[in-house]
Each structure stands twice: as structure tokens, then as C-alpha cells.
Chain A
Amino acid sequence: MSWLTRFVNAMNPDRARRELEEELNSHIEEAVRHGRSPDEARRAFGAALRHQDESSDVRILPWLESLVSDIRFGLRQLAKRRGVSAAAILSLALAAGAVTGVFRLVEAIILRPLPINSPEKLHYAEIWARDREGKPSVQDDFDYPHFQRYRDLLKTQADLLLLAYSARQELILPGAEQPERFHRQYVSGNVFPIFGLKPAAGRLLTPEDDIKPGGHPVAVISHHYWTRRFGRDPAAIGKTFRYGKHVYEIVGVAPEGFVGTEPGVMADAFLPSVMNVDALDKPGWSWFRIWIRPKADVSVSTIKQRLQASLTNERREQLKDWIAGTSKERIDAHLSARVQLLPAAAGVSDLQRRFRRPLLILGILAALVLLIACANVANLRAAQNMSRARELAVRASIGAGRGRLVQLALVESALIAILASVIGTVFAWFSVPYVVSLLTPEENPVLLVLDADWSLLAFVSTLALVITFLFGFAPAVRASSLQPANVLKGGEDPRSHQRFINSLLGVQVAFCMTVLFVAGLLVSSFARLVHQPLGFVADNLLVISTETPRKTAGDSWTQSARQLRQFAGVESSAVSGWALMSGNRWTVAVRNNGIVSEVSPVALDISPGFFATMRIPFLGGRDFRPGDRQPNLDEDQRPTPGTAIVNEALARMWFKGDSPVGKSLEVYVSKDLVATVEIVGYVGDARYRNLRDPIYPTLYVPFEDRGNASFLLRSQPGRPLDPSYLRSEIPRVLPGSRVRNVLSQTALVNQHSIRERLLATLAVFFTAVALILAGMGLYGVLTYSVIRRRREIGIRMALGARSQDVVCRVALQVALPLLLGSLTGIAGGLAIERPIRALLFETKGAEAGMLVLPALALLLVAVAAALPPVTQAARVDPARTLRAD
């Protein structure tokens, strides 16, 4: 008989028995047919049961059968306590799924090495400095002159790679009417050879493609783009496309799995760095990171020292050009720059930098929740086993060996673990993409390579199994070691068990409190951040960044803006160099009454109607009108005066809060020359760059000749404008122009609070799970306690105790763990607050609100969880209880 047959028989013992019976019955019938009497025939079988049993035990494995019956029993038990079981399984699933999800994200964004040769040998350069207030600043972008200088400096000691920021661009492929978005990354010619990559088709870029500025219009596309856009058609090689000022030819496809060097962005095409012609000779125009691979036998620190020497020299040289009278703090800050070489094995991106700490925090929160789930499982199992002590004792006394009892308990644990694994995997599968979608606005979605697949299931299952066996096993073993006689007599359980459960409860409460506290910090930080007044109205405002091939006169731009106002649905329009909150910044040095100002205001060039469109209130003076000029230098390098409008912050800083209209400032238009600026208008403060910085003193100047600008269109509420219509109309209004991007102002504002939003959203989720878990733990402990002490309660009540006394007694025993746990939890929370202070905004842990609210929440949950068992205790009928035993 094969093992399969045995297994099948074990699964369906009834069928095996029936077949046996059938065989024996047909034997009897044969005998009868051949002449024997039925009675004798039947008697000849003797103890049919014994035969059947002997025969059937041969056909079925006893162990397998007991396992099956244990599984059935376990499922029935779970179904009986549907609520508690569901809560245990669900919370374990959520906790395991959450931890897995966070781990996957961390792996995808921070840990996973790039699919290239020897990623551990690669480093990238950062310059760390302090600004004049002592705040650290980090810079990892460089300009081409610096790249050339460092490359020559380190020629024999290291390979320098140029890896530009992947930017989303629009290009028009031949045959397409609409421009499409694609991500391009400029790379130096040595990148592909050093990475050791082989093309999937065609060829890859080489150093020979990176020599003459503008002379190598070739491109390598990524495998992912090749699949998506060309369907892996080999004929894609040789196709051309127009981008910027050149027509590029596709010469090859990068290997599958290589999508650039910035986690969170998938590059579609790689272009030689010398094709970014305009940027090559412009110091100050930084557009890439520098990666370094030391040659054999050269240490990283040697390279760092050489770079540092070069940097320090350069900075000292720069000081000679500085305006005389600059303060010592600024000079020190300038010289404080230090070169750092950091590992680049997992790629480098802004996403990584911005989310490294948040992901760590999320990991901690998830781990805490997981630990609470563990404690919960242990508690549940312990309580379950205790309440079934009698049943287990009966089983033991009729001969179930300790092994059988342990097997029973293990099976139940395994059932919980398996169910939790399945749910947890599904949860992790869906939640990770959702979290990724929270990472950036839909305009520029984060693209991550997330491994599909079995590793996810394996991870979650392992977690769930390890937890249930670790925490379900100990109680099971303990349960099986009870003396049956003791339990059946109704003897008192060892007090240590109660203490164990109570301390577990305390631990749970501590973790829960920590999660609550940290979540409170994160949520309040987010709330405070987004409630910062903007100073302008962002709703219903579209920002259309537009460019022209050559500098277009300011009047043309302004005229176009006025024409756009005629469009249906447009309430007001204007044009400015860029939009507020877009991340761009232009600072000007200013002199007032002969004193160079420490603080440089920011500037923005705007058309008339800007303030009305942005709904920034006028506090005095007038708007710009035709004829107003920017302060500048004329052809003879002499300064020409101009007009400006300033905001409150600037007025406060230089004019002590009086109206600055009619007063003037001196603005530096070159290293030494200043031009006078007459202030004609005075407006309210508006946020310029992001949500965290204070309002900058701002100098608005009239719009003049530019090659790119942003149209600002305010639409009537409820009548959103159609971006594709605008894309086609604007080139008609402003001939020769091309729309680069259409964004909503709201999106521009929101991009500055993404991290905080992510943290707040997930913190709320973790808090909910933690509270549920803690509540369940409390409920379980109290229920168990009430059941266990039912007789004691009954006796007390029979002797005259009132329900209140009983309730107090029951509730009090958990008061101590609750209190201690809460205090420990808060302490833990305060410990965590310190390292994350950088992420918080105007929120401190030691505030009353932050401490009181979590405590209240926990108290509420505790009361809710305690209510059922406590009422049960109060309703104990002494007579019935005492009679039951």
C-alpha cells in the first residue's frame, strides 16, 4: 500500500472503514450463498469490531489520524471564540505584514545594491558645511568645471563618473503627435564600462561618446523603456528622436534590471554628458553627482584628502572676490566645507536621503506593534489553555500522553500562524505600493523595483510561525505539565502564572504607549506644518512652465498672460520667473544706508497682475505697470535704477515696519556695483520656498527678457482648466513657445509635506493596531482572571461583598501593570523623540498635550476592554457558581 493511499485513508477514515465493512459483508453473503447459515457466518467473524480495528489500523496510520482530528478540533475551537480568534489572527497578520512591508521598502530604497560589478567599490561625493548660523548644509551636486578639475586631479588614482539627476522631460518621438514623458540621465562615457554592464541589444555608451560637446547625439535606452515603448522590437535601435536642440539616435539597450542609479526614479534613456552643451561651461550650474571608484591599491581616504585640499584652496581663492566687509561668520562658514565620500552601492537619490530616517522610524513602530502582537498571542494562548485546563486534565487522565497534548496545542498555534501568514502576505502585497504612492505627488510618481513574489510570503510566514511557536509554545508546554488530579479537584493554579500574564500585559501597554506617543508627535507635527499660512491662495491655480528657444521680451510674456485671461474659465492670470514653492530661489545682495545687509532677500520677477492672481494682499503703494524696470547694468556696465515691490518681512527688517513705499534700497547688480531701487508697492508676506523656513524678506521686480517662465492661471472655482488645451493654445498666444509642464499650485505646496504626511498617515495606522492589540490583551487577561476566580468571587458575594467591591478587586489587579506600563512607554517615547527631532515641526515631546492625549486614548481603550469581563464578574451568581463544582 503506498504512502499516498495511506494518506488518503487517513484523510478519510470513514471511507476506509466502510470499504472494509463492505468487504466483510460480501464475504458473509458469499458464505450464505454457498450454504452456510447467516448466523453462523456472522459469528465466525467473532468480534467484528476487533477485526475491523485490527484491519483498519493496518490500513491507516494512527498518528496521522490523530493529527487530522487535532486540526479539526483546533478549527472548531477557533470558530467557537470567533471574536477573540479573529482579533488575534488579524492583529498578528497586520503586524507581520506591516513589518514585512517596511522591510521591503527599506530594502528597495536603501539597501539593495545596484545590479552592477562591485558596487561596494563605488562612492559618491558630498560637501558638508555649516552656514553662518551653524546649521549644517549638505551639497551633493556639482558643475562641469569642477568635474573636469577633479577628474584631472585624480587621473591616476581613481575613475570619476558623472551621473546626472534623472529629470522628467518631454520629447516627441517621430510619428507621435503628443509629446510623451520620459526620464533622461546624462552619464559620462566611462559609466557603462566601469559598471561592467553588457547591452541587451546594440551597444552601450563608451568614453569615445563623451568627448566633443554636442558632438555625440547617441542614446542608450533602458530595457524597461524598450519593453514599454517599443515592445522589445530590435528595430528600435537606429530610431531617432528630437530632444532639446539635438536629434538623437538610439544605439543600444541597457541590460534588464538596470534602471539608473537613483532609487525611486527609473531612467528611460542615458545620454552622454557632453550633450548637455549649455551647462558644460557654466560654473554654478550644477546638475549631477560625482561618483568615484578608486583604482586598485588606492585607499578612499587618500582620494578624500586630495579632494579636500583642492576644495579648501578653491574656497580661499573665492574669498578674494567677496564683497569687502563680509562678516567673519560668513567667511568661516564658507571655509568649513569638508569633502565626504559615502558608499554608493545601493545608488543615491533624494528619495533615499529624505526618507532614510522616516523609514527607520516606521520600522521601529512596526517592530513595536509586532512585539505587542507577540505578547498578545502568548497571553491568549495562556489564557485559553488555563480556561480549558479542566478539559485538558480530563484528556490527560484518560490516557492522552503529554506528547499528544503538546501536539494539540502546537496544532492550534500553527493554525493561527498559517491563517495570519496568508492575511499578512495579502496585506503586505497591497500596502507597500500604497505607501510608495504616498511618497511623491502623482505628478512625479516614485518608481521602485519591488520584487514580486514568494519571498514576501516566505518572510511573512516565517515571522508569523516564529512568533506563534515562540509565544504559543511556552504556554502549551506549561499547560501539558499540569497535574490532572490537581486541576480536576479545582485546585488553585500557581500564582506565578498570573504574574506572568500580568507582566506581559504591562509590557504590551508599554509598547502601546510608546507607539501612541511617537504617533502623537508625528501627527501633530504634520498638522502644524500644513496649517502654516501660505500668504497666498493655492486652490484653483495652475502653473504652466513654458520655454522659448531664445530669450523673449518681457512685454511679450506679459502680453501673452493678458491674452490668456480671455480664455473661458480663467479668472485672472500673470507670469513670473517661476512659481512660489517650486523650489527655485534667487537671492540678491542688498545695501541699505551704506551697510551691506547680513541677510539677503530673495527676489522674483513678476508681471503686473501677479498679486491679484496669487491673492496676495496689497498693503500700500501700487502694482507694476509698463515702464517699470529691473535694476541692471547697461551696455557700458553702468548700473541703471529700477523699481521693486517688497513684502512685510523686508519692511520689518529694514524699515522698522513702517510703510516702505517711496523709500529705496541699493541692490548689487555685479560684484561691486549697486543700483538704486525705488520701492513702489508693499504686499503681505507669502511663502517663497518651503513650509519649514520662516518667511523670507522678498523683493519683487518687474518681468524682463527671459527664455523660460511660468504662467499662473487662476480658474473659477468648479471649472477646472484643461491642461492639454492649454498646451496647444499657449504656443499660439506666444509664438515659438513650448509648454514644459502643467502643475497645480496645490501640488507644488504639498510636495513640501510629503514626508510628514507619510509619517502621520502610517503612524495613525500603527496606533490603531497597537490600541486594538493592547485592548485585546487587557480583555483577555481580565476575562481569564474572572473565569479563574469565579468560585472565589462567588464565595465573597455569598459572604456579603457588594458588586462594587468585586469589580474593584478585579480591576485593581491590572491597575499596576497598566500604570507601570504606561510610564515605561512614555519614557521610551521620550527616548525616541530625540533622534527624530529633525523630522518634527514645532512639536516637543515634553508638552502637556503630547503626554495627556495618548494617556487618555489608552485609558479609553482600557475601559472599553475591561467592561465586558468586569460586568461579568459583577453578575456572578454565587449560588450557581458554588453549586457547579
Chain B
Amino acid sequence: MAKNDNLQGSLELLVLKILSTRPRLHGYGILNAIQVLSEDILRVEEGSLYPALHRMEETGLIKGQWVPQESGRRLRGYELTQRGEEYLKSEEIRWTTVAGAVQRILKFA
């Protein structure tokens, strides 16, 4: 539904949050989780997700690992690093603050 390209900054926040409770989740799983948890409101394109994942891996927020499956395939699963956890905490606070402020203005403006 809403193809949200501007979700970039918040995309990282969402990925980090999802990974914080679901260690070693692969790309498809993250995509699915966002869709399901947002009740289909947010759907992220693969073309946005994977670059974001690799960027986050490069900056050290998440760590990727190859997970072998019984079928012989490998899945690449990601998990939070220490740095990622700290980043998640601060980002969550920031986002809540900003969202709250926007909400207040919409109510009272």
C-alpha cells in the first residue's frame, strides 16, 4: 500500500527494533515482520531494505551471519550489535519525542 521511500531514517529504526526481539532474522523475515506488525500499513520494498541492511552492517549497527538450512541453502541472518542496541535506545526516544511534538501541534494548532 504505501510505498514509502522516505522511510529511510525510520526504516533503520524499525529494522533495529524488530531485530531486538528476533535475533538472527533474515531479510525476508524482516520485510514480513514490518508488514505484519504494522498491520499492512507499512510495506517496504526489497530494493530499499537490502541497501539499508548492508549500510547498517557497514556502520556496525548490525551483524550478519550465514545460517545453514536443512535444505542445504544458506540464509543470511542479522542481529543487533552492542552499538546497535545503544543506537536503538536513543533513536526510539528521539522518535517518540518528535512524534509526540507533532501530535501536539496537530491537536492544538
| Docked CA distance A31–B35 (Å) | 13
A23 & B47 in contact (Cβ 8 Å cutoff)? no
A44 in contact with B76 given A58-B54, A58-B58 (CB within 8 Å) = no
Q: Is B55 an interface residue (CB 8 A)?
A: yes
Q: Is A59 an interface residue (CB 8 A)?
A: yes
A51 in contact with B47 given A26-B73, A26-B74, A58-B58 (CB within 8 Å) = yes
Q: Is A46 an interface residue (CB 8 A)?
A: yes
Q: Is B28 an interface residue (CB 8 A)?
A: yes
B26 & A27 in contact (Cβ 8 Å cutoff)? yes
A23 & B76 in contact (Cβ 8 Å cutoff)? yes
Which B50-65 residues have a C-beta within 8 angstroms of A?
50-51, 54-55, 57-58, 60
Residue of A nearest to B53 (CB): A55
- With a CB–CB cut-off of 8 A, which chain A residues contact B32? 34
Nearest chain B CB to A6 CB, angstrom units: 8
- With a CB–CB cut-off of 8 A, which chain B residues contact A26? 26, 28, 73-76
- With a CB–CB cut-off of 8 A, which chain B residues contact A1? 57-58, 60
Nearest chain B CB to A582 CB, angstrom units: 81
| Docked CA distance A29–B69 (Å) | 13
Chain A interface residue number, banded: 20 to 34
> What's the dominant secondary structure at chain B's contact region?
helix
| Docked CA distance A46–B48 (Å) | 11
Nearest chain A CB to B73 CB, angstrom units: 6
A59 & B58 in contact (Cβ 8 Å cutoff)? yes
| Docked CA distance A23–B26 (Å) | 9
Nearest chain B CB to A26 CB, angstrom units: 5
Q: Is A24 an interface residue (CB 8 A)?
A: yes
Total residue contacts A-B, CB cutoff 8 A: 54
Nearest chain A CB to B15 CB, angstrom units: 15
Q: Is A30 an interface residue (CB 8 A)?
A: yes
> What's the dominant secondary structure at chain A's contact region?
helix
Q: Is A54 an interface residue (CB 8 A)?
A: yes
| Docked CA distance A47–B75 (Å) | 22
| Central interface residue in A23, A51, A54, by most chain B CB within 10 Å | A23
Nearest chain A CB to B16 CB, angstrom units: 17
Please pick, from A19, A22, A30, the residue contacting B28 in the complex, using a CB distance under 8 A: A30
| Central interface residue in B46, B51, B58, by most chain A CB within 10 Å | B46
- With a CB–CB cut-off of 8 A, which chain A residues contact B26? 26-27, 30
Q: Is A45 an interface residue (CB 8 A)?
A: yes
Nearest chain A CB to B63 CB, angstrom units: 9
A29 & B27 in contact (Cβ 8 Å cutoff)? no
Q: Is B45 an interface residue (CB 8 A)?
A: yes
| Central interface residue in B26, B32, B47, B73, by most chain A CB within 10 Å | B47
| Central interface residue in A26, A34, A44, A54, by most chain B CB within 10 Å | A26
B58 & A51 in contact (Cβ 8 Å cutoff)? no
| Docked CA distance A1–B28 (Å) | 22
Nearest chain A CB to B28 CB, angstrom units: 4
Residue of A nearest to B69 (CB): A26
| Docked CA distance A31–B60 (Å) | 27
- With a CB–CB cut-off of 8 A, which chain A residues contact B75? 26, 30
A51 & B76 in contact (Cβ 8 Å cutoff)? no
| Docked CA distance A50–B47 (Å) | 9
- With a CB–CB cut-off of 8 A, which chain A residues contact B47? 44-47, 50-51
B54 & A59 in contact (Cβ 8 Å cutoff)? yes
A54 in contact with B27 given A23-B76, A45-B46 (CB within 8 Å) = no
Nearest chain A CB to B74 CB, angstrom units: 7
A55 & B28 in contact (Cβ 8 Å cutoff)? no
B20-58 vs A, CB cutoff 8 Å, 1 = contact: the mask equals 000000111100100000000000011100110011011
Nearest chain B CB to A83 CB, angstrom units: 46
Residue of B nearest to A44 (CB): B46
Residue of A nearest to B55 (CB): A58
A27 in contact with B28 given A22-B74, A45-B46, A55-B50 (CB within 8 Å) = yes
- With a CB–CB cut-off of 8 A, which chain A residues contact B76? 19, 22-23, 26
- With a CB–CB cut-off of 8 A, which chain B residues contact A47? 47
A55 & B73 in contact (Cβ 8 Å cutoff)? no
- With a CB–CB cut-off of 8 A, which chain B residues contact A24? 46, 50
| Docked CA distance A23–B73 (Å) | 10
| Docked CA distance A829–B46 (Å) | 77
Nearest chain B CB to A157 CB, angstrom units: 75
A27 & B46 in contact (Cβ 8 Å cutoff)? yes
Residue of A nearest to B63 (CB): A1
Nearest chain A CB to B5 CB, angstrom units: 12
- With a CB–CB cut-off of 8 A, which chain A residues contact B57? 1
Please pick, from B50, B73, B74, the residue contacting A51 in the complex, using a CB distance under 8 A: B50
- With a CB–CB cut-off of 8 A, which chain B residues contact A55? 50-51, 54
Residue of B nearest to A24 (CB): B50
Residue of A nearest to B60 (CB): A1
A58 in contact with B28 given A22-B74, A45-B46 (CB within 8 Å) = no
- With a CB–CB cut-off of 8 A, which chain B residues contact A19? 76
Which A38-79 residues have a C-beta within 8 angstroms of B?
44-47, 50-51, 54-55, 58-59
B51 & A51 in contact (Cβ 8 Å cutoff)? yes
B27 & A58 in contact (Cβ 8 Å cutoff)? no
B28 & A31 in contact (Cβ 8 Å cutoff)? yes
| Docked CA distance A26–B71 (Å) | 11
| Docked CA distance A51–B45 (Å) | 11
Q: Apart from A22-B76, A44-B45, A55-B50, what 9 extra A-B contacts exist at CB < 8 Å?
A: A22-B74, A23-B50, A24-B46, A26-B26, A30-B29, A46-B46, A51-B46, A51-B50, A58-B55
A to B CB contacts below 8 Å, 29 in the list: A1-B57, A1-B58, A22-B74, A22-B76, A23-B27, A23-B50, A23-B76, A24-B50, A26-B26, A26-B28, A26-B73, A26-B74, A26-B75, A26-B76, A27-B26, A30-B26, A34-B32, A44-B45, A44-B46, A44-B47, A45-B46, A46-B47, A51-B46, A51-B47, A51-B51, A58-B51, A58-B54, A58-B58, A59-B54
Q: Chain A interface (Cβ within 8 Å of chain B)? A: 1, 19, 22-24, 26-27, 29-31, 34, 44-47, 50-51, 54-55, 58-59
Q: Chain B interface (Cβ within 8 Å of chain A)? A: 26-29, 32, 45-47, 50-51, 54-55, 57-58, 60, 73-76
**Top-8 shortest CB links A-B:** A30-B28, A1-B58, A23-B76, A46-B47, A27-B28, A55-B54, A58-B54, A54-B51
